[in-house]
Structure 1
Amino acid sequence: MDVGDVVWSSKWVASLRAVGSAQGLRSVRSAWRRHRADAVALPRQGATRARVPGAAQGAEPEPGGGVVRFARSSLRVRVAAGGAVFCGWDGAGPEPSYALAGGVPEVDERAVLEPDTDGGWRVVSERVLVTVSRHGTVEFRTPGGVVLRRDLPPRWWEAPGGQAATGAAGAGRWMQRSEVAADARFFGLGGRAAGPRLRDGEYRLWNTDPGGSFEPGDDPLYITMPVQLVVADAGTHLAFHDNTWDGRVRLWEGEEGAGSGHDRPGRCEVRMDGGPLRSWVLVGTPARVLGGWAALTGGAAVPPAWALGYQHARWGFGTEQEVRRVAAGYRERGLALSALHLDIDHFRGHRVFTVDRERFADLPGLAEELRAQGTRLVSIVDPAVKAEPGLAVYDAGVRAGAFVKDARGREVRGEVWPGESVYPDFTDPKVRSWWGGLYEERLAQGFAGFWHDMNEPVSFAAFGDPTLPRSARHALEGRGGDHREAHNVYGMQMARAGYEGLCALRPGERPFTFSRSGWAGMQRYGGTWSGDVATGWPGLRASLALVLGLGLCGVPYSGPDVGGFTGSPSPELYLRWFQLGSYLPLFRTHAAIAAGRREPWEFGAEVLEHARAALRERERLLPYFMTLAHLAHRTGAPYVRPVWWRSPEDRALRDCEDAFLLGDALLVAPVLERGADRRAVRLPRGRWYDTATGRAYEGPGQVLLDAPLSRVPVLARAGAVIPVAGAEGGVELEVWAPAPGRTGSGVLVPDAGDGWEQPPVVRFSTRWREGVVEVEREGAAEVGHRVRLLGG
């Protein structure tokens, strides 16, 4: 047992107290079973030989680029039509890949491979210049020749028996070091509790349930992705290593004028335990880079309109009567409630796709009753199925051959909430189809949305890694392989199974699904949430870091457990968390079974009054949120953006982590510290209006704004046109006057319902003309919406 095992032991012993000593003992047995399975089935890592590419020996042009051959390896460089650059070593191609949407993108026929001056080669294209040195260093440059990223020659360690790490199923390890500009800042790598800017340190690429709860220092968490977004003065680029194996990323920020006056570049080291060495790089503005990433990995699913409203969840709604009581509490106090979420306690003995009929005698009736009041029911869905002959889901899965097997062909069993359980193999298309069909039972119960949990996947373990044995066998779309390759995409493929199943069962409706675990491309199947963030001010700060970081990885719909998952927040902490959540895509309160209540009225009259104001503002902004959802799907731009989004060259903004842009129009500065009633806000360039006072401020710069308990500072960009809900229904346009001599703009994407219609983007422009602010709609003489002018 190593140090890591000891850490896991203490966390899981603490987290399993709630389920009793019997399950705790079974978790010990499960851990030993996993340990023995891997000891038998996986080869021991002994001394291995390292190799590097060696000297270049020639090159062969191909459409969009070509192949450069070295003494001991080869490198394929290919530029896609949208400007993304693929690099594959050792014969690795773009597919098979779980990240890509719609297959390999078409190549840029204009990109050409040609000799370079130093004996290397270069690929010239419109948006990026790629140079390959004679020893295997790969540089990505702007069209003007400025280096954005330098990948040094990789190094491989051959697997036992001399097998090299070639192809998606290769077992050899590899490492690649890279350099970026001295002023560059790193973002991304999935959901990280500290950030969104990633400091010097090591980050693991292995989706992990941290056990109970987490704070900013905990890493890794539920969603890890080998996606780096790097922002520097010279430009922004995204680097994605398309490899699902366990790995580690080590980052060192650069320093300008280091040592003897020379810049020290920023550095990155990626180490993977196996799989192919292949990557994609995109360059340009942040908007262009995220747009290219969305084109490569798929547009984000647009949630139904109701899923952009406020939602309430709890582990511990014991009965239908409790659910009705909570819903009535919101209704009686005039608080809008879009959805109520039922956790595992509504299942029969925690068995997925079942209902405890004693406590929920008429779930369809309850769902219909709540829906008539404007509130949907959302069901948790866990992947683990209790290994119980006679249980319909288990028996059907056995007949379908759906469950993950070990190297001997036996079911892999783990310990989860229902007890000893088995796990569907979501990397098998037939299993995904079977699992997707099971949601018919959930729809019949009246559920309108689905919350995928515990899908890292988790198997309770008293020591070691709380997941399946690494030797467990998976289909991997027919290629075959083990859990080392399948682990990080397990949750994403569960989300895929649910999303595609719901599309087949209800083809006229957009599904609402969100998943605790996932990987690059998961946005195609819905969103995510923070997971079990600890109650406390550090947890509040981590909530914002996670949403911002995931958005920069292409996952725009997310949010935290408002109030934190554990403990009992103080009234002030709860209110500040509620205010932050009201400006995030997924606005949901949630708590553990032993934690304090999360209904706004439980914290006193003052908190209730201020929470009501935050909720009303969220309802007013719903047309804007719907617009941002459609734009995220079409352009890749997240709803919640870092303040440097339009000004990445502003270094002070690159270090700002306590505020964010909601779309392009609003700057939100949440209160993240106890007792604060004022806070400093750093402004991007341009004029900004305090939406509470109407006062104008000029950026770039920093201002000190009031932040009473009743609200958090929110500023509107001068010239912005924001679609909001009208007081008498319909959509109004809230227009903030442009600065003198300047123009402004805004967009509206009206949502016709919860179906698949793609409404047109309506664009607006604003300008001063003869002392009056004019609002024009693109291609039309009249606006067609009520306009309210503010500022100026």
Structure 2
Amino acid sequence: MPGPAEGADPLPGGGLVRFARSTLRVRVAAGGAVFCGWDGAEPEPSYALDGGCPDADTRAVIEPDKDGWRVVSERITVLVSRHGAVEFRTPGGLLLRRDLPPRWWDPVNTAEGAQPRWVQRSETAADAAVFGLGGRASGPRLGEGTYRLWNTDPGGAFEPQTDPLYITMPLQLVVADAGSHLVFHDNTWDGRVTLRDGEEGAGSGHDRPGGCETRMDGGPLRYWVIPGTPARILASWTALTGRPALPPRWALGYQHSRWGFGTAAEVRRVAAGYRERELPLSALHLDIDHYDGHRVFTVDRERFPDLPALAEELRGHGVRLVSIVDPAVKLEPGNAVHDSGVAAEAFVRDAQGDPVRGVVWPGDALFPDFTDPRVRTWWGGLYAERLTQGFAGVWHDMNEPVSFAAFGDTTLPRSARHALEGRGGDHREAHNVYGLTMARAGHEGLRELRPDSRPFLFSRSGWAGMQRYGGTWSGDVSTGWPGLRSSLSLVLGLGLCGVPYSGPDVGGFTGSPSPELYLRWFQMAAYFPFFRTHSAIDAGHREPWRFGPKVLEAAGAAMRERERLMPYLYTLAHTARRSGAPYVRPVWWGDPEDRKLRACGDAFLLGDALLVAPVLEQGATERAVRLPRGLWYDTVTGEAYQGPGQVLLPAPQERVPVLARAGAVVPVAEEDGTVTLEVWAPAPGRDGGGTLVTDAGDGWAEPRVERFTSRVSDGEVVVVREEHDEVGYRVRVRGAAF
């Protein structure tokens, strides 16, 4: 343990507290985030930070306190006790979290020296609710239990009880009455977080605080704490780790995929099916079966004799092709990718210096070391082949990484050697950032190869900061009602970790969904940022017409509604890029002090304007919906409901309940492509508003941002465009609360 304190030294943004056996560096950064580093741990080097550590807030200084020292800043006060406990309090003195003195033990020997294991126990408010930790199938609020920090392919379809999954992050967003905060332990090693719920009035009238234990198998003990409202926290977090990548506009449209398209003729048949039924389709995805023997960056010329011509033909109908890309390279001298990788010394090696061999889809395979900048450059250049084939985007799979020949886990041996940006280390440190660094290699390669276009890339695995390079998807979610619920948990949880662009495999990856399950999944996902049907090779088809005329009609209505909302969705994409705010938000986003809302995980906000209540139970034709405060309109019936509170709404097969916030100005698309402002009447005496962001749909030009205000004047709804005399758009008023 740290031992008793011996003194403190001022440093920019805070200071260094010296203990008998340890030191603690407290540093408040410009913007309000607080860094704490034990035993000489500094903010850098870090895979999470984007562009380096922010400057220190020189106004924050360390000064003596009654039981140690304190660092006071504009947004937070940090108290360090003489025995090593650290408290984070609001400017008003309310406790956000208390980190007890850490403990180190049993150093793990590595080629770079000893790596002590460590544990840190923390306390939060009795009413605290915890979200985050990456992509978790249960939630979005995380219950009591232990969560592992080790990116893992579950080896089959997962359900709510499956943990961990493909994306883990040592990041918690803690919401309580006293205030919200984010804590992020910047450590890539294997670890575990154990959560314990608090209890108010426990024992003799005293609260039992919420509890957290973070236990890591090695690496530095360093962490960041960010206080504020959820919106401010996500803005600060993505300022620290990188703003989310902005997808091209077409990537917000409906996309269809299947492992098992088989041939170019099948791809054409599916695309024609959507055209014949006048269903909007933005992209088709090709899985590993289009490769030659599953070899990455190849094409099976017998089944896809002219892939560039197919891509051009589909592009003529407004449909892009997206390619899967796996990291494993077939161990095969004479294969161009293999040989160039060997020449570049690009592959992960063992302690003897030989390439580590695993087994993946192409058979015996080698694994690029994406923690080496040279290797990232080499790999990024390989995407030229994908662009030549006509692909408009890529999805990274199997990049936890996965090896079917297990070395204890279904991944690389922990002794495997990685460059780690020149520092050197083994797979225990590199595993969790393998997918992140692969995404970086792909993103940077695509930007270099096609500088005028925004890359479209999403990745099954990743780590903190992955939003800089693109999005993600659910992975192999099970086909069933529990898998449907997990899909919502994943999207909400990832958004609160700073990864706003995500979505599930609609219908589940495995199995054949019933028509009802498929439709309810489809209707929910129509409001997610990434809207894609996908399935395993033996799990049947996912085209809407495969499930009968009633499902086709209702699914078509959901697709057309998404197209109608495209200006709003694209505005949310730009909002995420500018502020880190997720498209899909928990219903408590604007009301974190409402405890009943904090417990609500079966509905979500789409931006600030819309509340979507998907049907998650078999046979349901109505459902209860908990409303945030304010006035809300049913977007179909126009009926108004006052929140906070719970209402029972109809949910027939044709639709799921969607409500609009009173006063919201929602930009929508007409059939001719023009934009209309759909304005939901403000509540009496209140104003509302909205934003419209437009650009060319791709590229890097500055977008046009227009802000609107709505109010009731002389019994009529009036809309004003900021800094303009005219609104400039057709206005459609809905609702009649005034």
Q: Give the TM interval when normalised to the shorter protein.
A: over 0.9
- Given candidates 77, 80, 95, the residue that maps to 2:29 is 80
- Given candidates 12, 15, 18, the residue that maps to 1:63 is 12
* Root-mean-square deviation (Å): 1.1
Residue 93 of structure 2 is matched in structure 1 by: 145
Q: Deviations over 1:162-218 (max 9, x none)?
A: x9x9xx985210000000000000000000000000000000000000002100000
Within 2, Cα distance between the matches of 1:243 and 1:379? 32
Within 1, Cα distance between the matches of 2:231 and 2:501? 17
Which residues of 2 match residues 262-273 of structure 1 at below 5 A?
A: 262-273=206-217
The one-letter amino acid of 1:134's match is: R
Within 1, Cα distance between the matches of 2:287 and 2:584? 27
Residue 135 of structure 2 is matched in structure 1 by: 191
Within 2, Cα distance between the matches of 1:220 and 1:310? 29
- 1:487 maps to 2:431: yes
Within 1, Cα distance between the matches of 2:502 and 2:49? 21
Do 1:170 and 1:276's aligned partners in 2 also have CA atoms closer than 8 Å? no
- Given candidates 548, 570, 574, the residue that maps to 1:604 is 548
Higher mean displacement: 284-293 or 459-468 = 459-468
Q: CA deviation at 1:726?
A: 2.0
Residue 478 of structure 1 is matched in structure 2 by: 422
Within 2, Cα distance between the matches of 1:160 and 1:318? 48
Corresponding residue SS for 2:180: strand
Residue 428 of structure 1 is matched in structure 2 by: 372
Within 1, Cα distance between the matches of 2:323 and 2:227? 40
Within 2, Cα distance between the matches of 1:463 and 1:728? 57
- Given candidates 315, 325, 333, the residue that maps to 1:371 is 315
Corresponding residue SS for 2:212: strand
The one-letter amino acid of 2:426's match is: D
Q: CA deviation at 1:156?
A: 0.3
Residue 13 of structure 1 is matched in structure 2 by: none
Residue 773 of structure 1 is matched in structure 2 by: 717
Residue 660 of structure 1 is matched in structure 2 by: 604
- 1:110 maps to 2:54: no
The one-letter amino acid of 1:131's match is: L
Q: Deviations over 1:469-516 (max 9, x none)?
A: 000000000000000000000001101100000000000000000000
Within 1, Cα distance between the matches of 2:207 and 2:148? 28
Residue 648 of structure 1 is matched in structure 2 by: 592
Does the C-alpha gap of structure 1 residues 289 and 501 become closer, same or farther in structure 2, counting only changes over 3 Å? same
Do 2:603 and 2:614's aligned partners in 1 also have CA atoms closer than 8 Å? yes
Higher mean displacement: 334-343 or 753-762 = 753-762
The one-letter amino acid of 2:282's match is: S
Within 1, Cα distance between the matches of 2:478 and 2:97? 37
Number of residue pairs aligned between Structure 1 and Structure 2: 736
Residue 253 of structure 1 is matched in structure 2 by: 197
Do 2:108 and 2:114's aligned partners in 1 also have CA atoms closer than 8 Å? no
The one-letter amino acid of 1:82's match is: G
Q: Deviations over 1:579-631 (max 9, x none)?
A: 01100000000000000110000000000000000000000011111100110
Residue 395 of structure 1 is matched in structure 2 by: 339
Q: CA deviation at 1:359?
A: 0.3
Do 2:407 and 2:413's aligned partners in 1 also have CA atoms closer than 8 Å? no
The one-letter amino acid of 2:94's match is: V
Do 1:169 and 1:275's aligned partners in 2 also have CA atoms closer than 8 Å? no
Within 1, Cα distance between the matches of 2:539 and 2:339? 36
Higher mean displacement: 741-750 or 418-427 = 741-750
Residue 637 of structure 2 is matched in structure 1 by: 693
- 1:711 maps to 2:655: yes
Corresponding residue SS for 2:115: coil
Within 1, Cα distance between the matches of 2:218 and 2:158? 28
Within 2, Cα distance between the matches of 1:295 and 1:145? 26
Within 2, Cα distance between the matches of 1:760 and 1:214? 42
Within 2, Cα distance between the matches of 1:407 and 1:464? 17
Within 1, Cα distance between the matches of 2:18 and 2:571? 48
Do 1:243 and 1:276's aligned partners in 2 also have CA atoms closer than 8 Å? yes
The one-letter amino acid of 1:102's match is: G
The one-letter amino acid of 1:145's match is: G
Within 2, Cα distance between the matches of 1:284 and 1:64? 19
Corresponding residue SS for 1:195: coil
- Given candidates 320, 324, 327, the residue that maps to 1:380 is 324
Q: Deviations over 1:408-432 (max 9, x none)?
A: 0000010000000000000000000
Within 2, Cα distance between the matches of 1:461 and 1:681? 47
Unaligned runs of 5+ in 1: 1-51
Q: CA deviation at 1:462?
A: 5.8
Corresponding residue SS for 1:171: strand
Do 2:503 and 2:529's aligned partners in 1 also have CA atoms closer than 8 Å? yes
Within 2, Cα distance between the matches of 1:374 and 1:618? 16
Residue 665 of structure 2 is matched in structure 1 by: 721
Residue 11 of structure 1 is matched in structure 2 by: none
- Given candidates 49, 74, 78, the residue that maps to 1:100 is 49
Residue 45 of structure 1 is matched in structure 2 by: none
Do 2:690 and 2:709's aligned partners in 1 also have CA atoms closer than 8 Å? yes
Within 1, Cα distance between the matches of 2:113 and 2:626? 48
Within 1, Cα distance between the matches of 2:114 and 2:520? 48
Within 2, Cα distance between the matches of 1:745 and 1:69? 52
Within 1, Cα distance between the matches of 2:421 and 2:231? 33
Does the C-alpha gap of structure 1 residues 678 and 183 become closer, same or farther in structure 2, counting only changes over 3 Å? same
Q: CA deviation at 1:463?
A: 7.5
Do 1:93 and 1:278's aligned partners in 2 also have CA atoms closer than 8 Å? yes
Q: What TM-score does the superposition give when structure 1 sets the normalisation length?
A: 0.92
Do 1:346 and 1:356's aligned partners in 2 also have CA atoms closer than 8 Å? yes
Corresponding residue SS for 2:204: coil
Do 1:169 and 1:485's aligned partners in 2 also have CA atoms closer than 8 Å? no
Which residues of 2 match residues 375-774 of structure 1 at below 5 A?
A: 375-461=319-405, 464-774=408-718
Q: CA deviation at 1:760?
A: 3.6
Q: Deviations over 1:242-265 (max 9, x none)?
A: 000000000001010112211000
- Given candidates 269, 274, 277, the residue that maps to 1:330 is 274
Q: Deviations over 1:79-121 (max 9, x none)?
A: 0111000000000000000000110101111111100012x10
Q: CA deviation at 1:160?
A: 5.3
Do 1:308 and 1:625's aligned partners in 2 also have CA atoms closer than 8 Å? yes
Q: Deviations over 1:278-317 (max 9, x none)?
A: 0000001000011100100000000000000000000001
Within 2, Cα distance between the matches of 1:189 and 1:333? 42
- 1:274 maps to 2:218: yes
The one-letter amino acid of 2:85's match is: T
The one-letter amino acid of 1:361's match is: P
Determine what percentage of the aligned residue pairs are the same residue: 77
Within 1, Cα distance between the matches of 2:544 and 2:383? 32
Do 1:503 and 1:511's aligned partners in 2 also have CA atoms closer than 8 Å? yes
Do 2:108 and 2:218's aligned partners in 1 also have CA atoms closer than 8 Å? no
Residue 10 of structure 1 is matched in structure 2 by: none
Corresponding residue SS for 2:694: coil
Within 1, Cα distance between the matches of 2:287 and 2:529? 21
- Given candidates 213, 216, 241, the residue that maps to 2:157 is 213
Q: Deviations over 1:615-654 (max 9, x none)?
A: 0000001111110011001101000000000000000000
Q: Deviations over 1:741-762 (max 9, x none)?
A: 1110111111222101221421
Do 2:108 and 2:117's aligned partners in 1 also have CA atoms closer than 8 Å? no
